[in-house]
């Protein structure tokens, strides 16, 4: 099995960084296919914490080539902050080239005015709780066909021209929001030195991905955010602006659907979301606070407390359908240790008693139906096989697997790489 896609099955923050890191141990190529610096993975390797936002976590494995695909939006300033940090920690060579980290020349540049617009909007009526990294306005420029593909940076005169045009287009919005945009000269002064560093990393990354898949290399397509934040399939308008689902791997990496062998969905043992929008199983009580504290549920980009709640199986069924999930990775099971009992939403019921599928936001009066399962008190961190889990934890895993209808092939029982029950070879047949 060569080409594996991994996506979040909830609202992001399913613990992708760690799982991708484990899968990447074997991968020849890791391709990130969407989103931008709105994502954030904290990796713990030998006690050393590394935060990556744009660069795939696979970068920590010296033999793995990493690609930032054309579905991404890339802030050159953020990218070089990350690269410089990795160089400082000895995880990347000073002269890193595109043999190690290749950036699509068709990915779009997030520029300071995108951040200004995102921030101004978040202070006003239209706020949805974005990460304020300029992601939405950059994708808006992309679909408005006035965006700046990174390849344009090879020609600074054209770059300036496009920056001027974008600033003109955004000026009325900025004025209406009561803000001011940076000037073209201010943008270019910051951008020029970054462009000089970025251009050597640029290439047609779709060619790299396709060649690796054809050569039967192990290729991991790494999604960002989660299914329910996808611009098409998520809880619109409380979504990000990109395709966070498995289909996005094809458009965002530039490989055809016939090349993908397996789609993995990541699901946290409970649910979280950052920002506004529907969350049927949300807990606004002591149990929710306990999950937040024990699970360290604070945004890795913004530090915001995440909203927390019980596991939502109708939402997982929805994610299974729209992604065509073949298998699941269940994360953060250890966070549930110590809760006397666990509730899992197994259906939604309308006022007339009939069941409703996810999503339910258009119909008032629909409520989650829960089943209650016993909790456990034993720590899970030492478990390396399913049979090491306490009986109630094992029953919880079995319950999810049976209801979800997809095999659980990995269970994460702690933040460390070794605190993992890996049931199959992710690239196995």
Q: How many helices (H) and strands (E) does the chain have?
A: 11, 20
| Binding-site member from 129, 179, 305, 374 for ligand IMP (CB under 6 A) | 129
The partner residues of 341 in beta bridges, in order of sequence, read 374
Q: Which stretch binds ligand IMP (CB under 6 A): 22-30, 236-244, 250-258, 328-336?
A: 236-244
**Cα distances (angstroms) measured from residue 220 to each of 1, 99, 158, 161, 385:** 11, 17, 34, 37, 25
53, 301 in Cβ contact below 8 A? yes
Residue 17 to residue 51: CA distance in whole angstroms: 9
| Binding-site member from 265, 275, 280, 426 for ligand IMP (CB under 6 A) | 275
Q: Which is nearer to ligand IMP, 127 or 207 (CB)?
A: 127
290, 335 in Cβ contact below 8 A? no
Q: Which stretch binds ligand IMP (CB under 6 A): 44-52, 122-130, 333-341, 360-368?
A: 122-130
Asked if 229 is part of the footprint of ligand IMP (rule: CB under 6 A), the reply reads yes
Q: Residues near 149 by Cβ (< 8 Å), separated by ≥ 6?
A: 105, 106, 107, 108, 109
Shortest distance, position 308 Cβ to ligand IMP, whole Å: 13
How many residues bind to ligand IMP according to rule CB under 6 A? 19
CA-based nearest residue to 271, from 288, 285, 254, 258: 288
Residue 375 to residue 381: CA distance in whole angstroms: 16
| Binding-site member from 274, 283, 329, 345 for ligand IMP (CB under 6 A) | 274
Site map for ligand IMP, 173-212, x if CB under 6 A? ----------------------------------------
Site residues for ligand IMP, 19-38, by CB under 6 A, read 38
Residue 44 to residue 21: CA distance in whole angstroms: 10
The number of C-alpha atoms within 13 Å of 381 and in the hemisphere containing its C-beta is: 6
Asked if 133 is part of the footprint of ligand IMP (rule: CB under 6 A), the reply reads yes
Enter the DSSP assignment of 376: -
Asked if 136 is part of the footprint of ligand IMP (rule: CB under 6 A), the reply reads yes
Residue 152 to residue 143: CA distance in whole angstroms: 17
Q: Which is nearer to ligand IMP, 108 or 133 (CB)?
A: 133
Shortest distance, position 182 Cβ to ligand IMP, whole Å: 20
In terms of residues, how long is the chain? 429
Asked if 240 is part of the footprint of ligand IMP (rule: CB under 6 A), the reply reads yes
| Binding-site member from 12, 71, 254, 368 for ligand IMP (CB under 6 A) | 12
For 258-309, what is the HEC assignment? Answer: HHCCEEEEEEECCEEECCCCCCCCECCCHHHHHHHHHCCCECCCCCCECEEE
Residue 310 to residue 352: CA distance in whole angstroms: 24
Residues 9, 14, 16: CA angle, nearest 5 degrees: 100
CB-count exposure of residue 351 (10 Å: 0-12, 13-18, 19+):
exposed
Q: Which is nearer to ligand IMP, 26 or 173 (CB)?
A: 173
Q: Nearest residue to ligand IMP, using CB?
A: 275
Q: Which is nearer to ligand IMP, 24 or 225 (CB)?
A: 225
Shortest distance, position 290 Cβ to ligand IMP, whole Å: 20
Q: Residues near 217 by Cβ (< 8 Å), separated by ≥ 6?
A: 2, 28, 29
| Binding-site member from 5, 13, 82, 271 for ligand IMP (CB under 6 A) | 13
Q: Which stretch binds ligand IMP (CB under 6 A): 63-71, 103-111, 132-140, 419-427?
A: 132-140
Q: Which of 21, 41, 118, 233 is catalytic?
A: 41
Q: Which stretch binds ligand IMP (CB under 6 A): 63-71, 187-195, 235-243, 314-322?
A: 235-243
Shortest distance, position 39 Cβ to ligand IMP, whole Å: 4
Asked if 337 is part of the footprint of ligand IMP (rule: CB under 6 A), the reply reads no
Residue 395 to residue 397: CA distance in whole angstroms: 5
Catalytic site includes residue 98: no
Q: Which stretch binds ligand IMP (CB under 6 A): 67-75, 127-135, 155-163, 190-198?
A: 127-135
- Two tokens, residue 203: 């290439």
Catalytic site includes residue 61: no
Shortest distance, position 110 Cβ to ligand IMP, whole Å: 11
Residues of the shown chain interacting with ligand IMP in the complex, contacts defined by CB under 6 A: 12-13, 38-39, 128-131, 133, 135-136, 224-225, 229, 238, 240-241, 274-275
Catalytic residue ranges:
13, 41
């Amino acid at each position: 099995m060569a080409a594996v896609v991994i996506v979040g099955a909830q609202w992001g923050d399913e613990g992708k960084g760690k799982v991708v890191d484990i899968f990447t141990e074997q991968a020849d190529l890791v391709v990130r296919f969407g989103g931008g610096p709105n994502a954030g993975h904290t990796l713990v390797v030998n006690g050393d914490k590394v935060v990556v936002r744009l660069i795939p976590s696979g970068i920590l494995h010296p033999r793995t080539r990493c690609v930032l695909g054309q579905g991404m939006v890339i802030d050159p300033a953020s990218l070089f902050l990350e690269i410089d940090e990795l160089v400082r920690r000895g995880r990347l060579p000073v002269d890193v080239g595109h043999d190690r980290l290749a950036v699509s020349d068709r990915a779009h540049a997030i520029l300071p005015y995108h951040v200004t617009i995102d921030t101004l909007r978040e202070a006003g009526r239209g706020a949805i709780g974005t990460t304020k990294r300029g992601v939405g306005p950059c994708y808006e420029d992309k679909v408005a066909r006035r965006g700046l593909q990174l390849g344009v940076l090879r020609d600074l005169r054209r770059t300036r021209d496009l920056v001027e045009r974008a600033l003109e287009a955004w000026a009325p919005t900025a004025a209406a929001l009561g803000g001011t945009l940076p000037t073209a000269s201010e943008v270019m002064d910051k951008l020029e030195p970054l462009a000089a560093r970025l251009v050597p990393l640029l290439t047609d990354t779709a060619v790299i991905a396709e060649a690796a898949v054809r050569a039967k290399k192990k290729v991991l397509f790494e999604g960002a955010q989660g299914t329910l934040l996808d611009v098409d399939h998520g809880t619109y308008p409380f979504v990000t602006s990109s395709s966070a689902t498995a289909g996005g791997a094809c458009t965002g990496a530039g490989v055809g659907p016939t090349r993908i062998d397996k789609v993995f969905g990541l699901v946290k043992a409970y649910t979280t979301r950052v920002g506004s929008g529907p969350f049927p199983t949300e807990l606004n009580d002591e149990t929710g606070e306990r999950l937040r504290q024990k699970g360290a549920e604070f945004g890795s980009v913004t530090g915001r407390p995440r909203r927390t709640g019980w596991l939502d199986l109708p939402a997982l069924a929805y994610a299974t359908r729209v992604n065509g999930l073949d298998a699941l990775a269940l994360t953060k099971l250890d966070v549930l240790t110590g809760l006397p009992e666990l509730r899992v939403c197994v259906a939604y019921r309308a006022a007339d008693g009939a069941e409703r599928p996810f999503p339910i936001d258009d119909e008032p009066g629909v409520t989650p139906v829960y089943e209650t399962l016993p909790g456990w008190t034993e720590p899970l961190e030492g478990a390396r096989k399913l049979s090491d889990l306490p009986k109630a934890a094992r029953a919880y895993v079995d319950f999810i697997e049976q209801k979800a209808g997809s095999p659980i092939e990995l269970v994460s029982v702690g933040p460390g790489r070794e605190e993992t029950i890996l049931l199959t070879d992710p690239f196995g047949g």
